Amino acid sequence: MISRRQALLVPLAALPAAAVAGAVPAAAAETVPGGPWVQENQPVVLAGMTDNSQLVAELQRLAARRPDTVRLTEIGRSLEDRPIYRVSVGSGPRTLMVVTQQHGDEPVGTEAALQLLTHVSGPSREASALREQVTLEVVPRVNPDGFERWLDPESYPGEDPRRNAANLDLNREYDPAVPVSADAPEAAAVRALVDQVQPDLVLDYHHQVSYVTDAGEQVTMSVLWATVGGVEPSVVDDGRRAAVVVAEALEDFGHATVTRYPESTTRSVARNGLALAGTPALLIEQRGQYEVGQKSLGAFTREALVAMEAVLESLADGSFDEVDPADADLLPERGDRDRQR
């Protein structure tokens, strides 16, 4: 299913000034130097993107419409008191957790997760069979305060929408040997849920800027499993299996080039920290840190959804366990920054 919300963000340059939400006429900008004017390449949000209140409403509507298949639980509050939800569907023995938007300015995973929840909770025989094999746990938009800053930068001058309201990077709060910062309740909620649920796998959705492979192809997604010492080998291997499943699904889907994200041994990022604590995790970085504003938003969302569905289905039918983790080494390196963009 294609996104219901097509082309919701457009690049500033493509819009007449009057259409730019919150923008001021150029003449006014010139008379007030240093004002919080919309910058080139800054995404401009138009009606239709799922904002914070819409996300809450949409999740509550889904849970109310499908009380037999959707369980909605508030697992925490952001620093600015926005709810963080756990959405659970299914009762199968294998559990996939999808975490989106730890970085407030990386919204596509959230849009895709909403579509996934709608599919998996639905009345089709396929969805019903899936729910008997797997349990899906979604934490959509871990960083609603950052997203608010991304949507409305004029109200938060100088603040980084990637980070939370205390200017913390939530994806540096996962070292199991270090307690979560007091000012990162959003990450604390995720870590506590992982501890409680002990999922078979966590997919952690992000965006990166544009890259090209050495073969000259535009990278649409980069993935990486745990790459820090001290992780149980079987935990690393399950992350690698997930990478292979995602890459193969997107190869079949087309319009996608999946590469390996550059390694680091940082313990505090989710893919390493969760794995150190025993939970396999895969980092998923989609192209679109800046391009998400363009008409390709629907394609980005579709790509994210294909990856989620493939992993969920492979856990459900057991093919996940048959994947050779060594195949992850076949993924090409990410390559260089695409300077055209």
Cβ nearer to Zn ion, comparing 206 with 271 = 206
Over 138-154, what HEC string results? Answer: EECCCCHHHHHHHHCHH
Residues that bind Zn ion (CB under 5 A): 103, 106, 206
Q: How far from each other are the two terminal CA atoms of the chain, in whole angstroms?
A: 29
Beta carbons of 111 and 153 less than 8 angstroms apart: no
Smaller CB separation from Zn ion, 106 or 313: 106
| Other beta carbons within 10 Å of 36 | 15
Instruction: Kindly state the smallest distance separating residue 31's Cβ from Zn ion, in Å.
Output: 37
In whole angstroms, how close is the CB of 75 to Zn ion at the nearest point? 20
Shortest distance, CB of residue 149 to Zn ion, whole angstroms? 14
How far apart are the C-alpha atoms of 287 and 207, rounded to whole Å?
6
Scanning the structure block, which residue is given the tokens 């590469």? 259
Distance of alpha carbon 184 from alpha carbon 146, whole angstroms: 12
Q: Which is nearer to Zn ion, 206 or 267 (CB)?
A: 206
Residues 6 or more apart whose Cβ sits within 8 Å of residue 182: none
CB 287, min distance to Zn ion, A: 12
Phi (first) and psi of residue 75, to 5 degrees: -110, 0
Give the nearest distance from C-beta 103 to Zn ion in angstroms: 4
Q: For Zn ion, give the closer residue by CB, 86 or 206.
A: 206
- Cα angle value 304/308/311 (rounded, 5°): 140
C-beta closer to Zn ion: residue 103 or 267? 103
Q: How far is the CB of 202 from Zn ion (least distance, A)?
A: 14
Q: Choose between 94 and 141: whose C-beta lies nearer to Zn ion.
A: 141
The answer to whether the CB of 320 falls within 8 A of the CB of 249 is no
Query: Residue 189 or residue 316: which is nearer to Zn ion going by CB?
Result: 189
Please check whether residue 304 is in contact with residue 204, taking contact to mean a CB–CB distance below 8 angstroms.
Answer: no
Residue at token pair 């004029």:
154
> Which residue lies nearer to Zn ion by CB, 108 or 201?
108
Residue with tokens 């023995």: 93
Q: How far is the CB of 140 from Zn ion (least distance, A)?
A: 15
Which sign does the torsion angle of CA 158, 160, 164, 166 carry? negative
Measured from the CB of residue 283, what is the shortest distance to Zn ion in angstroms? 9
Query: Is residue 325 within 8 Å of residue 233, measured between CB atoms?
Result: no
CB 341 to Zn ion: min, Å: 18
Comparing CB distances to Zn ion, the nearer of 106 and 173 is: 106
132 CB contacts (<8 Å, ≥6 apart)?
90, 91, 92
Task: Tell me which residue of 141, 155, 154, 77 sits closest to 107, measured CA to CA.
Answer: 141
Q: Minimal CB distance to Zn ion: which residue?
A: 206
> In this structure, are strands 258-260 and 336-337 parallel, antiparallel, or unpaired?
unpaired
